Structure 1
Amino acid sequence: MATLGFAALAATPAQAATQQYPTYTLDHTGTLNSGLTGDIAGSAFTDADGQFHWLSSYADYESTDSGSDTNTFTNTDLGALNNQVGSGTTEITADTYWNKPGALCYQIDKAAQNAAPSPYQDDHCDVVGTWVDPSSGTWYGVVNDEYDFNPWGSSSQTQNQRIGTGIHGNRILTASSSDKGKTWNYGGEIITSPYLGNDSEDASSQPGKTWDYGVAGSRLFVDYSTGYFYVVYNTQIKFKPNYTTFAYWPAVARAPISGKMAPGTWNKWDGGTWTQPGVGGYEGMAGSALHLNPSYDPATDQVDFAGTGADGTSVDYRAYYANQHGNTFTFDDTSGNVYTANTSTGAITDASGATVPSVSYQDPALNSSVTVSTASSKVNVAVTDATGATESTTLGGAVFLDTATNRLYITPNVVQETAFTFNPFSLDYQGVGYDANVYQTSDLGNPDSLSIVGTEPSGASNSYLTSIDYGSLTNQNVSSRSYRMVSALTGGMWDVSMAPHSAGQTHYSAQATPVDAGGAPISFASSASYGLSVGGTALSDGSGSAWRLVPVMDQWSTGYRTGFYKLVNVGTGGYLQSTGSTVEQTRAIGSAVATGAQQANFDPSGNGGSGSPGGADQWYLQPIGNDAPQTLSPSSSAADIAAATNTSLAGVGQYKLVNRNSGLALEYVNGGWQLAGQAFGDSGQAVAITKTS
């Protein structure tokens, strides 16, 4: 699989590897308590009653029920939880073992309504993202399901022998829990491969020398601004009978939040549209600047990435199977020079048969420089785009060559295993994933619009990441100018800050300022005050109705705003905050909102260095999108498609006032101010900000 490697390239006449974006700063490195780790990404969320939970899942491919489960850990926040495992943190284990009646994997095969049986069972049934229904308190989860173990193995193998190989297919399901994670109830398939007609890895659907691994690597993001769930995942094509991946592409699916993750509500991003169904629909490559469309024919083993190059030419990058041709392949540079390379020895020769150490050329179709070189007796290809970002990979059994020009292509790592958040600092969406770059866009409904704004610093991991807001240590859906990444797999935690860009860098994250009702940027001067009306009701503190927005400054880089604010009443000096006798009560749905004394901010040294969150007096302005969230189909009308995909936040000037710690919105309910679950299109949560002085 492609990996990023800036240091692998030296500048040559064919390529300019000048990085057009900043490298971020590592502020703090911590360790996730080993009891909280798993073998897939963790999930952080706040329950309807204000309790903070961390979910981690694990399955050990063992023949006995010795550790396949989804664990729910509970404490006040991630810092306290991490510091108090075994002494203040509670833990609930939901067994998922395939042969235990009632377990999630067992349900999928045998006991569930609309079961999805697998001839070779399921083993990993991992909840990897959770949303809490504010109306019922029910937890809904996205489930990464590994199934059909060792489908190309001997028919005499037992089920446990198959699971022990670790070779499997993959699909994405949903499950729910109404007892706070004690049990999970299977809810059906939501995202599956289009290349498995009978939903099984067998010779009927996969008759060639290759096989489709399915859809995997899922991450959930709840986008309250536009009313959609988003799940990022990937498709992988492998060589039989084993597990070697030679083609993959990152993909995205989404569903209206109002559908509560139900099967049939999901659409896949494909060819620039959202009309493909989640189950069995085709998925395009997300995050591709070239808008390439992938395709795979299991009968002929043909894999293509086709579309239009950056120079306007048609491109069709097709898999050539070097492992079926003596491990050799030929390729051309842009001058038409022909080279032969051997994937086993790493040898590269020109047309005369002379050995060359490397070949470099500028590819106008990719708008990138390409270097093919010998590295550790293998053939390495590195592609550097106009921003200076480099993707590199070691070529093996399959090589992708354009059918017209015979030039090379490697799939990008954009969106791969990416943790997305809404970033109030920039008022954009932000993603951090496997390629270690940081991306932003104002329109997650167009994942190809993602633009690199920085790269992770040395020492920060990029595997199985979960993002969590460092200032609250509870809110997984937002980030800031500084942010925290957590790896449940490696047990690492990293607080990272955006570094200032240099004069020559063109790609970076810029501070954005929300606007008032007249469209003017909000002023943070001490003399500026505003009237706030939420759902048409004026917000006041006694007789005082004028408010000042005081920016919360970055704890790691104190000269910068975070995008979070404290609201101070000009007349009384009181700070707007949610109330309660416990921390959990201040985050619960229905928590009363009043004013009080200013509360402390995030303390990096708290909880043994895991951090202590700020108080309940911090807020952010979350844009309200102009779309109409809905599930589409290829037969949807042009009007419905346009309404559903009008998801850009650029220029949006209407907001909700959302509490940082809970992710709940301010609303006037039954004669009082309180925290309410977010609902798209709820006019009672829309805030009007009017300048008064």
Structure 2
Amino acid sequence: MHRHLRRRTQARRLSALLSVAALGIAALAATPAQAATQLYPTYTLDHTGSLNSGLTGDIAGSAFTDADGQFHWLSSYATYAGTDTGSDTNTFTNTDLGALTNQVGAGTTETTADTYWNKSGALCYQIDKAAQHAAPSPYEDDHCDVVGVWVDPGSGAWYGVVNDEYDFNPWGSSTQTQNQRIGTGIHGNRILTASSTDKGKTWDYGGEIITSPYLGNDSEDASSQPGKTWNYGVAGCRLFVDYATGYFYVVYNTQIKFKPNYTTFAYWPAVARAPISGKMAPGTWNKWDGGTWTQPGVGGYEGIAGSALHLDPSYAPATDQVDFAGTGADGSTVDYRAYYANQNGNTFTFDDASGDAFTANTSTGVITNAAGTTVTSVSYHDPALNSSVTVSTVSAKVTVAVTDATGATNTATLGGAVFLDTATHRLYITPNVVQETAFTFNPFSLTYQGVGYDTNVYQTPDLGDPDSLAIVGTEPAGASNSYLTSIDYGSLTNQNVSSRSYRMVSALTGGMWDVSMAPHSASQTHFSAQATPVDATGAAVSFASGASYGLAVGGTALKDGSGSAWRLVPVMDQWSTAYRTGFYKLVNVSTGAYLQSTGSTVQQTRAIGSAVATGTQQANFNPSGNGGSGSPGGTDQWYLQPIGKDTPQTLSTSSSASAIAAATNTSLAGVGRYKLVNRNSGLALEYVNGAWKLAGQAFGDAGQAVAITKVS
């Protein structure tokens, strides 16, 4: 019964997501059509699998390896039931994701942390009662999910990002009971932190880390939002731990809705970050806004992340005014302001690039020109967007498709509100670039990679500048885009890295997809390029059979006996064997042995402090293992992770120019210093107390820096 009720709640959440799209949310859940002239490849679907239904949730899942080397998968639920029927955060344990999904009930263990809002001691109960943290819910009705976990290598404690739903049905009748409000599913949202010191049996509330600037006293009430619209808060969070620059990153979104219901008409994707050294604590977080990281996480303003136009969003709750303002691609000043069609007979008037006016009805889908003649579509090139725009009638609704210069198309079905430039009256829809995106470090290209709701794949060498994200491909047909988690297919344990091929997992639908980057055509100018690390002189590392290198980690030479020369042997893509993955095996030239972590169990080979020695070559990833869920490769695979040039720190609007410059010097372009990181564990090689071991990554730790010197 317990699991059955969870499935019903999950189905309701999915139904609500689809209903939001149908009601006219601007591109939130839209799947972009692909233009015939797309300048990037469509990737290949290599394998489709299924996550065991017992492992699913109603928010993105989290994969991580504990300090003791144990692999965990975490999924969360928050039911809207009036009784304690399944609101919890579950931690599943096995050797890897393939074994985990193949052995539920026989080899996989489960730890359940009840999070029900009215259960004494539960995480949501703690949040309700935590007035000392200045984050109580006025109605004491929190529904919270842990989404993303980092393990402190020093203490072994787990720190998690928490998606918190609260203030249910704030615009409903004041006579409703608490359970009646919760049962509507309408709520505000914020992002919190929690920690666990007993491996997920219980979670302790740690405070707010990211909240909306538009809510007075962090509450959904008429004093802060007196108009006809309301700010939902911040939601849709995903955690990425960037060991290269020493920051946590959380991607999320903010949404503006019509009272009293849940219909979204404006949203924008956003990003916040905090130094890893702060262990996710409140007050350590900054939001990306206007090209800087100086806004506080709690109550600060957030800009649109991933927008090439650098538009600045704003919302005035008292007047319901929502704007996206900035400079167009042609240098013109733009101000895209919400026009409320639902308050004007469901009609709006827009202009094309020539200034010709058209009137459209969002209820019937009818579009007419200035003469009153019905037209099926209007197309024009917008120089401010540097995109082609098509407004058309589709299934008796007004649909807008915006295709940019790369051929990527965002679509939206317009509803109660539309965005029109105040000067030109041309249309705008919010791009879907960072929406619900799973980020990884990609050793194949030595960049960051993101895959999210719009099904496109983006990369950038500088996640500290999210507007620099560039499209490099698009997901193949058949791969889902909902509630995604990325996990390295070669290890089936490491959520922080990807390769030329990668695996996406949906905790909501239970789908798993192995995807490969397809070769680009001669006419496609946007693609992921293979990157080659450099040696101590800045020369590209050679993988020729006769090339060898000396490796010194933290100043200590890496040897196998007296043999100090090593070959870097690329691990080839399991799905496309002609291509390198960005992962390597290190073979000692003198002994022919392979560098690997050791232990009597799989878990011991991934634990902090695991001994590193040499041995025979181990097997690679086997896609047919574990009933088709895959078996991971051995411990003899490594990647070179860049060491950034920044100084991780929390900023404010009063920070000095030098502090801002140091904190934001996060680009990996041209970085030639690395750590040698084990693929399965995500831990770095380090010489500790006279022995080679796996160590937790610490930014700026000189003892983990590897020097690569050409020998032959």
TM-score, normalised to structure 2, is: 0.96
State the Cα deviation string for residues 265-312 of structure 1 (Å, max 9, x = none): 000000000000000000000000100000000000000000000000
1:121 Cα deviation (Å)?
2.7
CA RMSD of aligned residues (A): 0.8
Kept in 2, the 8 Å contact 1:380–1:394? The answer is yes
Alpha-carbon distance in 2 for matches of 1:507, 1:19: 9
Equivalent position of 2:7 in the other structure? none
1:324 Cα deviation (Å)?
0.4
Alpha-carbon distance in 2 for matches of 1:238, 1:380: 19
Instruction: Give the match's secondary structure for 1:584.
Output: helix
State the Cα deviation string for residues 649-676 of structure 1 (Å, max 9, x = none): 0000000000000000000000000000
Alpha-carbon distance in 1 for matches of 2:695, 2:586: 18
Kept in 2, the 8 Å contact 1:443–1:649? The answer is yes
Alpha-carbon distance in 1 for matches of 2:625, 2:187: 43
1:122 Cα deviation (Å)?
3.3
Instruction: Give the match's secondary structure for 1:79.
Output: helix
Instruction: Give the match's secondary structure for 2:128.
Output: helix
Equivalent position of 2:11 in the other structure? none
Alpha-carbon distance in 2 for matches of 1:373, 1:357: 6
State the Cα deviation string for residues 456-505 of structure 1 (Å, max 9, x = none): 00000000000000000000000000000000000000000000000000
Which of 386, 389, 394 is the equivalent residue of 1:367? 386
Alpha-carbon distance in 1 for matches of 2:616, 2:113: 42
Equivalent position of 2:186 in the other structure? 167
Equivalent position of 1:48 in the other structure? 67
State the Cα deviation string for residues 392-411 of structure 1 (Å, max 9, x = none): 00000000000010000000
Which amino acid counterpart does residue 113 of structure 2 have in structure 1?
A: A
Kept in 1, the 8 Å contact 2:127–2:142? The answer is no
Equivalent position of 2:367 in the other structure? 348
Equivalent position of 1:13 in the other structure? none
Unaligned 5+ runs, structure 1: 10-16
Using the TM superposition, name which of 109-118 and 49-58 deviates more: 109-118
Kept in 2, the 8 Å contact 1:322–1:399? The answer is yes
Instruction: Give the match's secondary structure for 1:122.
Output: coil
1:4 Cα deviation (Å)?
4.8
Structure 1 residue ranges (4+ consecutive) displaced by more than 4 angstroms after TM superposition: 3-9
Alpha-carbon distance in 2 for matches of 1:6, 1:381: 11
Kept in 2, the 8 Å contact 1:4–1:390? The answer is no
Q: Tell me if 1:59 matches 2:78.
A: yes
Which of 296, 304, 310 is the equivalent residue of 2:329? 310
Unaligned 5+ runs, structure 2: 1-24
Alpha-carbon distance in 2 for matches of 1:159, 1:442: 48
1:68 Cα deviation (Å)?
0.1
Matching of residues 254-653 of structure 1 within 5 Å? 254-653=273-672
Which of 647, 671, 685 is the equivalent residue of 1:666? 685
Which of 191, 207, 211 is the equivalent residue of 2:210? 191
Equivalent position of 2:15 in the other structure? none
Alpha-carbon distance in 2 for matches of 1:255, 1:515: 29
Instruction: Give the match's secondary structure for 2:633.
Output: coil
Equivalent position of 1:207 in the other structure? 226
Which of 252, 276, 287 is the equivalent residue of 1:233? 252
Equivalent position of 2:101 in the other structure? 82
Equivalent position of 1:251 in the other structure? 270
Alpha-carbon distance in 2 for matches of 1:390, 1:121: 42
Alpha-carbon distance in 1 for matches of 2:348, 2:681: 56
Which amino acid counterpart does residue 524 of structure 1 have in structure 2?
A: F
Kept in 2, the 8 Å contact 1:402–1:409? The answer is yes
Which amino acid counterpart does residue 41 of structure 1 have in structure 2?
A: A
Instruction: Give the match's secondary structure for 2:522.
Output: coil
Which amino acid counterpart does residue 288 of structure 2 have in structure 1?
A: W
Kept in 1, the 8 Å contact 2:142–2:167? The answer is no
1:5 Cα deviation (Å)?
4.5
Alpha-carbon distance in 2 for matches of 1:205, 1:143: 24
Alpha-carbon distance in 2 for matches of 1:187, 1:62: 26
State the Cα deviation string for residues 103-123 of structure 1 (Å, max 9, x = none): 000000115741511122334
Which amino acid counterpart does residue 146 of structure 1 have in structure 2?
A: E
1:198 Cα deviation (Å)?
1.1
Instruction: Give the match's secondary structure for 2:561.
Output: coil
Kept in 1, the 8 Å contact 2:346–2:363? The answer is yes
State the Cα deviation string for residues 516-570 of structure 1 (Å, max 9, x = none): 0010000000100000000000000000000000000000000000000000000
Alpha-carbon distance in 1 for matches of 2:546, 2:624: 34
Alpha-carbon distance in 2 for matches of 1:299, 1:571: 74
Instruction: Give the match's secondary structure for 1:198.
Output: helix
Alpha-carbon distance in 1 for matches of 2:641, 2:661: 22
Kept in 2, the 8 Å contact 1:120–1:162? The answer is no
1:124 Cα deviation (Å)?
2.4
Kept in 2, the 8 Å contact 1:419–1:432? The answer is yes
Instruction: Give the match's secondary structure for 2:375.
Output: coil
Which of 144, 147, 152 is the equivalent residue of 1:128? 147
Kept in 2, the 8 Å contact 1:553–1:562? The answer is yes
Instruction: Give the match's secondary structure for 1:684.
Output: helix
1:59 Cα deviation (Å)?
1.6
1:60 Cα deviation (Å)?
1.6
State the Cα deviation string for residues 373-400 of structure 1 (Å, max 9, x = none): 0111110000000000000000000000
Instruction: Give the match's secondary structure for 1:87.
Output: coil
Kept in 1, the 8 Å contact 2:33–2:409? The answer is no
Which amino acid counterpart does residue 216 of structure 1 have in structure 2?
A: A
Alpha-carbon distance in 2 for matches of 1:112, 1:71: 27
Mark the CA change 1:559 to 1:79 in structure 2 (over 3 Å): closer, same or farther: same
Which of 192, 195, 200 is the equivalent residue of 1:176? 195
Which amino acid counterpart does residue 285 of structure 2 have in structure 1?
A: W
Kept in 1, the 8 Å contact 2:43–2:516? The answer is yes
1:199 Cα deviation (Å)?
0.3
Alpha-carbon distance in 2 for matches of 1:421, 1:65: 36
1:6 Cα deviation (Å)?
5.0
TM-score, normalised to structure 1, is: 0.98
State the Cα deviation string for residues 7-35 of structure 1 (Å, max 9, x = none): 487xxxxxxx4110000000000000000
Which of 85, 89, 101 is the equivalent residue of 1:70? 89
Kept in 2, the 8 Å contact 1:237–1:248? The answer is yes
Alpha-carbon distance in 1 for matches of 2:78, 2:218: 22
Alpha-carbon distance in 2 for matches of 1:113, 1:106: 14
Kept in 2, the 8 Å contact 1:120–1:151? The answer is no
Kept in 2, the 8 Å contact 1:122–1:145? The answer is no
Provide the identity percentage.
Answer: 88
Alpha-carbon distance in 2 for matches of 1:473, 1:242: 41
Q: Tell me if 1:676 matches 2:695.
A: yes
Which amino acid counterpart does residue 79 of structure 1 have in structure 2?
A: G
Kept in 2, the 8 Å contact 1:102–1:111? The answer is no
Kept in 2, the 8 Å contact 1:109–1:115? The answer is no
Alpha-carbon distance in 1 for matches of 2:302, 2:528: 29
Equivalent position of 1:12 in the other structure? none
Q: Tell me if 1:216 matches 2:235.
A: yes
Which amino acid counterpart does residue 545 of structure 1 have in structure 2?
A: S
